Every structure is written in structure tokens, then in C-alpha cells.
Amino acid sequence: MSDPAKAAFFEFDAAGLEGWCGARGMPRFAAKQLLEWVYGKGIVDVDRMTNLSKAHRDLLAHEMGFLQGTELRNLEATDGTRKLLLGWPAPGAAATSLPVLGVATGRETECVMIPSEERRTACVSSQMGCPVGCRFCASGLEGVEGNLTAGRIVEQVWRLGQQPGVGRITNVVFMGMGEPLANASAVMNAIRAINAPWGLGISARKITISTVGLPAAIRRLCDFELPVTLALSLHAPNDELRRQIIPWAEYSTVPELLDACQEWFRKTGREITLEYILLGGFNDRREHAEELARVARTIRANVNLIRYNEVDGLPFARPGDEDVLEFQGILRRAGVNTHIRASRGRDIKAACGQLRHESMKSAG
């Protein structure tokens, strides 16, 4: 459980941790030892950090906190997908007001580990809730409580890697709760720690930022020093349809988004992934696929089709398998590289925001 009076380990980069140790009379190499214990060995119990002196372990026990979040729920699906619901303390919260099991505050987030033969993908949140309010998504049903800090983002990846049988996390996707580019500074600092040799050491090319589309923010991201992957949550091939399901689509048009994506490709040389959630009877018809193909061919992009996971109380349906395959076929015949994302963790409500929404309904 987090103690707000203590420094938060995951908020430090290597230089900052070295300075913190030095200011307390610890040798500067103690920072390297700490990083190795936490990131390299997965140890956050200072009593087990045996190459540190007893005096320094005592100091760390009093002044350094390692895990800020409280694990409220931990579920494993039949396909091996794991989902954590984490509660975060309010800024400056007293220990008596930290998150507790069964009490929803709105300061909960979800993170998911999705296994495959070669990958262990961490899907992490960047905000507590979501300000976008997509009509089909549970993440924004209770609005947004606030941003996650860089350390709290990194902690999600670390926690998922510590789950039994998971091993090393290989990929990270910012496709959980929140709009990553609405919390860009914290997200980029988190990516630096996730990528760094002293941190989790995950290749930047295996880190994906998924955005609903903020053209100015996409252009700023073009100058980010690490070669991350960019995914655009398009979900409709035209503005009229898109504005029915994505409130923020009122602020930017599909052509404006595509222009920002063109700049991304010109500056980085990396193509865009267009994320498209298929909502049965709404955006999954032949004419939608044909129009999406025309849109996708205007930029260097591939298309990732996502079958909708139903959310209780929302009016959208999961499309039929035949409709999904027909939609993919139209895109492929038009020369668009298109994949269907495998649905994972449906039996533990692994889609964005579902577990948090369910917990808040129960608490209410």
C-alpha cells in the first residue's frame, strides 16, 4: 500500500534516483543496485535487497515507497489473459483514505496482460477514466478523474510482468483507459523508463500509442526521440458516422487527422495503424469497408479490425463472424493490409473500462 509521505520509486529516472540517494548519504551506485533489484529482479521488499547495508535498507524503508497502487481485483481468463484493477491514492491522501477492496472512488484503472505464442503484451491506462466518452466504450462512462503520473503508468507494466507464469513483458500498448495524448508528458516519460536499459528495456518499436485523434498532439509526437508506433482510433470512415460515436470527432475532421498522420510518416518513416472497431449493424457494412479502403490508401497505413466486446447498458452489438471476414476481404482486395485482432479475455470483461465500470456500479 502506498504511503504518500514517501518518495515514489517508479517516478524516478536513473539520474533522479542517483541524486536522491546521494542527497541522503548513500553511495551513488546504490541507485544502480536499486534499479537492478526492482526492474531486473522484480523485488520491492527492501529487506531482500541484500547488497545494500542494513542502515541503507532502514532508510529506504522509511523514505522510499515502491508500489503506489492498491490491487483491487486480479482476474485470469480461460485464454491466459490477465486483468488487474488498481486503485490509486488521491494527491496527498492520508493512509486511512487509500483505496480499499469493494470501495469505488473513480481513481481506479485497469491494465491487461495479453499472451500469445511469442508475445506478452501489456495494455496500460494513461488516465483514471477517460475524457473522450466514446459511445461504445465503458472507459468514459463515469468521466475522467485525472491523469496518471509517469510512475503509475510504469508500475502497471511492472505489475503485469510479476504475475505468475507471465515472465518478461515484450510489448506495451497505450490502449487502456484514457487518451494518451491528453496526458502526453507523463506518457512520454513513462515510455522512456519502459524503454531504458536501466528500466524495463522494452524496444521502442514494440511500444504503441493509440489516440482517438488530436492532430496538433500527433504533430508534436513526431519529434519524440524514441521510435514508437502510432495507432489512430478511427472507427468510422467519414465524419458524419464518426461523430455519432466519438464526441471529440467534433473538434477535428478525418482529412485533418490524415494530414497529421501524413506528417508522422514523412518525419518518422513509420506507417500508421488504423484501429477500427466493428459495431454490428452500425459501421460494418460493405459501403463502410469500401470507404475505409479509400481512406486507408491515402496514407501509409495498415488496418486493425476489432470485433466489439459488448458492454452492459450500451446499445451496440458484436458483429457476426461472416460480416467481419467480408469486411476484411473488401479491404484486402482493395490492396489494404488488414488484420482482425483476436478477441481476448471476454470472460473477464477485458475490454477497456469494463471492470472499473462494473465495480463502480456495484459500489453505487
Q: Which residues is 47 bridged to in the sheet?
A: none
What's the rounded Cα separation, in Å, for the pair 81 and 114? 5
Cα(67)–Cα(11) distance, rounded to whole angstroms? Answer: 11
Is the distance from CB of 232 to CB of 272 less than 8 angstroms?
A: yes
Report how far residue 111's alpha carbon sits from residue 89's, in angstroms, rounded to the nearest whole number: 17
Any idea which residues carry the catalytic annotation?
A: 110, 352
Residue of 275, 253, 252 whose CA lies nearest to 136: 275
Concatenated DSSP letters for 322-339? HHHHHHHHHHHHTT--EE
**Residue 213 contacts residue 202 (beta carbons within 8 Å):** no
Residues 6+ away with beta carbon under 8 Å from 69:
2, 86, 87, 88, 99, 152, 155, 156, 159
